[in-house]
Amino acid sequence: MTTPDTPSYWDKLKPGDLISLRDEETLTDMMTSGSLRASGLDLTVKEISTIEEAQGLMKWILITLEPVTLDDTQQVWYVFVKIVDDAVDIRVMYSPEDFEDNTREGLLEHDCFWLFQEPEDPDDFEPKDLLFTESIGQDIEGEDGKKFFYDQKRQGVLYGRMQTKPRPSGVDEPQFVTIIEFATDYDGCNNPEILLLEIGGVVMPDYSECESEEEAEFIEEQADAQSGGGYVMLLQGANINPTDIEIMSVKVN
């Protein structure tokens, strides 16, 4: 019998299954909202996105769960599973209240310039050419003007191809994905992990009929011209112990 700390455990997961969470942060949130149950929190799996790193270094699984009601507000939670060889890292994550997923253009229209590095010419740039920030600051509650920082992890910016179950209507798969992980060592933070995903928006070069280096360069230029940047998600959360999560399979008639 496999357990959540083994890669093969996650192969059996399917939309409609239940995930049971019993980690300390989840139990604290449930207690605060007055909806704590002795067994923890059981949530239905709505969507499963599997991302294979471009060089085969690792695999990520982003599991979208049914909304959770906290203080009369619904919030979508995610389970993020990172698999490197036989090592499994599990996090419970959510979208921060002050951030709304959007395209690059939409983020800039909402003044989310902090998400990107400053361009060489701030008055003349294309959103698709902006590099993501290497550090994200967050205010320390009750400490006016003081911040702590999430820094990019050592692996930096990674790329992969994503496939989703159930498959989204009208979407060509696999989708190209940019993945950046951030972390903070600030002791006062309950959610020390940030995950940034940029999904789609990149046209991959098609070399199937390429016969020369000149044609290859032209194909790459055309693909770049058609790439406008994708849909950006930002999730915040924390690692959990594998003993604090369980898949409960639901039979499909």
My answer on whether 244 and 200 are in the same domain is no
Check residue 224 and give its pLDDT.
Answer: 60
23 and 85 in a single domain? The answer is yes
Least Cα distance to 23 among 248, 244, 237 occurs for 244
pLDDT score at 129: 86
In a domain, 2, yes or no: no
109 within a domain of the structure (yes/no): yes
Residues of the chain with pLDDT under 50: none
Q: What is the pLDDT of residue 173?
A: 79
Domain-embedded: residue 166 = yes
Same domain, 106 and 231: yes
Q: 70 with 154, same domain?
A: no
Residue 113 lies in a domain: yes
Does 147 reside within a domain?
yes
| 109 and 232 belong to one structural domain | yes
Could you tell me if residue 196 is inside a domain? yes
Question: Is the same domain home to 178 and 166?
Answer: yes
Number of domains the chain is built from:
2
Say if pTM beats, i.e. exceeds, 0.75. Answer: yes
Q: Are residues 161 and 181 in the same domain?
A: yes
Q: Residue 1 domain-assigned? A: no
Q: Which structural domain, as residue segments, surrounds residue 229?
A: 102-236
Q: Mark whether 47 and 131 lie in a shared domain.
A: no
Residues 21 and 45 in one domain: yes
